[in-house]
Amino acid sequence: MRNVEKNGNGKRICVIGLGYIGLPTASMLAIQGFDVIGVDINKKRVEEIKNLSFKTKEKDLMTLVKGAINSGNLKVQTKPERADVFIICVPTPCIENNGKKKCDLKYLNKAIENIKPYLEDGNLIIIESTIPPGTTDEIYKRLSKDKKIYVAHCPERVLPGNILKELVENDRVIGGVDKKSAEMAKDIYETFVTGKIYLTDAKTAEMVKLMENTYRDVNIALANEFAKIAEEIGINVWEAINLANKHPRVNILKPGPGVGGHCISIDPWFIVEKSSNAKLIKTARELNDSMPLFVVEKIKKIIKKDNGKIAIFGVTYKGNVDDTRESPAEKVAGKLIEDGFEVKCYDSYAREFKYPLSSLDDAVDNADIIVVLAEHDEFKNFDKDDIKHISSKVRSKIILDTKNIINKELWKKEGFKVYVLGDGKNA
Ligand code: SAJ
């Protein structure tokens, strides 16, 4: 017997795609009392959710999913069912076609085809996946030929690593193909979102989402360009950014080995795809993509040789997550291997990586340099004994920190030469 509480009003919601957005959203709705069908075409994923054996570094996600399943309100399966609302949370990756990057809508289109047989008059479809401006209207045109349906775009905004808190607390933007669609979607989100909910049209909502991630990408590109300039003119970019940020209207983000993940490194291309005016956006994207090679050049300048062993610390796309998609570490490691270096990667957070992962001891054994590429707490918290142990294994006591996170004094005390990306030491 399903436990349908007041918020659910007996409504059935089918959530398509149980990834890092779909699963928490489906669980949250189930906890609110909606009758939720979570759908994923990946059988293994469905089984892992059912028996709570999926892996996650996301705080409290397991507890939420467990609560949703135990409430009896969340069913997970590989096929959709008839429902009042369909929420689509499938990936929309970037593909390259004739040298041009564009959004690949194949999973979204497949999801639409899969729900089509179950659609009934009065149903609402909400697209959470990130999409180029105009996509929601096109989907509406396609589907409204034979059914009276409502369609809205409600882009997800949560930060991996802090998903559950942001899912509830962040403001949301909902764009409808018409006013009624936007209002119907608001009724759903309002049951668990404590932030404000703003209504607009679908194309504006699509663009807002892309603008948010593009703003961050361009800001990081500026920080990365400053890091390159700092290396050239011989100043420390971290100190300079810190001082510039003391200005009340300046907030420069942090430089690093590049921008990874499946959002910020991809979404700006969906604007470039639609507009020939997107020149700054394209340049920023290319600049961020150039950072892994810049790191490789810095490594070579520091160790002053074209061979040897490199120990990479951290291969995920950012700190304290297990996701390695679009990770700058993949490009850094790939280029070093191509150039003839022996590369060993250590990361206790990563789930899987393109190159084999090693134990800490194997990674640092006889290494000519340690290169930190992700800001995991583990690397920040290495104590005197950890560093002493590492120090006893390496060939050369050199560390390059591309994230400016390690306890430099402790490493120096153990005899390490410490370099930071953008420190201007190789000017
Ligand atoms: N990074 C830097 N310097 C910085 C900040 C980040 O180099 O100062 C790098 C990170 O190391 C990482 C990449 O940028 O490689 C992206 O990390 P992130 O933490 O900035 O963002 P994501 O990709 O994890 O999540 C973003 C968020 N968007 C914004 O903050 C505007 C999140 O709210 C979105 O929901 C998410 O994209 C998404 O799914 O679109």
CA distance 124 to 181: 7
pLDDT of residue 1: 35
Residue 6 has pLDDT above 90, yes or no: no
In this structure, are residues 152 and 177 in contact, taking their beta carbons and an 8 Å threshold?
Answer: yes
**CB of 325 closer than 6 angstroms to any ligand 1 atom:** no
Instruction: Give residue 322 CA to ligand 1 midpoint distance, Å.
Output: 14
E runs forming strands in 28-163: 35-39, 74-77, 85-88, 94-97, 100-103, 124-127, 150-153
In this structure, are residues 326 and 265 in contact, taking their beta carbons and an 8 Å threshold?
Answer: yes
**Nearest atom, ligand 1, residue 288 CA:** 7
Residues of the chain above pLDDT 70, percent: 98
**CB of 292 closer than 6 angstroms to any ligand 1 atom:** no
CA distances from 121 to 140, 143, 202, 272, 334 (A): 13, 11, 20, 36, 52
CA distance 347 to 355: 11
Active site positions, annotated: 209, 263
Both structure tokens of 219: 């800001």
Q: Closest by alpha carbon to 403, among 363, 359, 380, 373? A: 373
Residue recorded with tokens 């942001």: 166
**Nearest atom, ligand 1, residue 253 CA:** 8
The chain-wide mean pLDDT, for the chain, equals 96
Mutate to test the pocket of ligand 1, among 156, 168, 169, 263 (most ligand atoms within 8 A of CB): 263
pLDDT of residue 306: 84
CA distance 374 to 357: 14
DSSP letter, residue 14: E
Residue 328 has pLDDT above 60, yes or no: yes
Residue 4 has pLDDT above 50, yes or no: no
Q: What is the mean pLDDT of residues 300-327?
A: 95
pTM over 0.85, yes/no: yes
| Matching CATH number, 12-195, of 3.20.20.100, 1.10.101.10, 3.30.540.10, 3.40.50.720 | 3.40.50.720
In this structure, are residues 420 and 400 in contact, taking their beta carbons and an 8 Å threshold?
Answer: yes
Q: Closest by alpha carbon to 153, among 139, 168, 170? A: 139
Q: What are phi and psi of 411, to 5 degrees?
A: -65, -40
Instruction: Give residue 143 CA to ligand 1 midpoint distance, Å.
Output: 34
Instruction: Give residue 264 CA to ligand 1 midpoint distance, Å.
Output: 6
Protein residue whose Cα sits closest to atom 3 of ligand 1: 254
Rama region for 308: left / alpha / beta (φ>0; ψ in -120 to 50; rest): left
CA distance 199 to 178: 10
User: pLDDT by residue (tens digit) across 119-147?
Assistant: 999 999 999 999 999 999 999 999 999 89
pLDDT of residue 7: 62
**Nearest atom, ligand 1, residue 21 CA:** 39
User: pLDDT by residue (tens digit) across 10-32?
Assistant: 899 999 999 999 999 999 999 99
pLDDT of residue 5: 47
pLDDT of residue 3: 43
Residue 95 has pLDDT above 90, yes or no: yes
**Nearest atom, ligand 1, residue 160 CA:** 24
**CB of 329 closer than 6 angstroms to any ligand 1 atom:** no
Domain-wise residue ranges, the chain: 12-195, 216-426
CA distance 421 to 402: 5
Q: What is the mean pLDDT of residues 246-263?
A: 97
CA distance 228 to 206: 33
Instruction: Give residue 12 CA to ligand 1 midpoint distance, Å.
Output: 33
**CB of 291 closer than 6 angstroms to any ligand 1 atom:** no
**CB of 260 closer than 6 angstroms to any ligand 1 atom:** yes
User: pLDDT by residue (tens digit) across 286-295?
Assistant: 999 999 999 9
pLDDT band at 2 (very low <50, low <70, confident <90, very high): very low
Topology (CATH) of 216-426: Rossmann fold (3.40.50)
CA distance 54 to 308: 38
User: pLDDT by residue (tens digit) across 39-54?
Assistant: 999 999 999 999 999 9
C-beta atoms surrounding 106 within 10 Å:
13
12-195 and 216-426: same fold? yes
Both structure tokens of 37: 């069908």
CA distances from 40 to 50, 126, 128, 261, 392 (A): 12, 16, 15, 21, 48
pLDDT band at 338 (very low <50, low <70, confident <90, very high): very high
Protein residue whose Cα sits closest to atom 28 of ligand 1: 213
In this structure, are residues 155 and 173 in contact, taking their beta carbons and an 8 Å threshold?
Answer: yes
Mutate to test the pocket of ligand 1, among 23, 130, 318 (most ligand atoms within 8 A of CB): 318
Instruction: Give residue 210 CA to ligand 1 midpoint distance, Å.
Output: 12
pLDDT of residue 426: 77
**Nearest atom, ligand 1, residue 326 CA:** 15
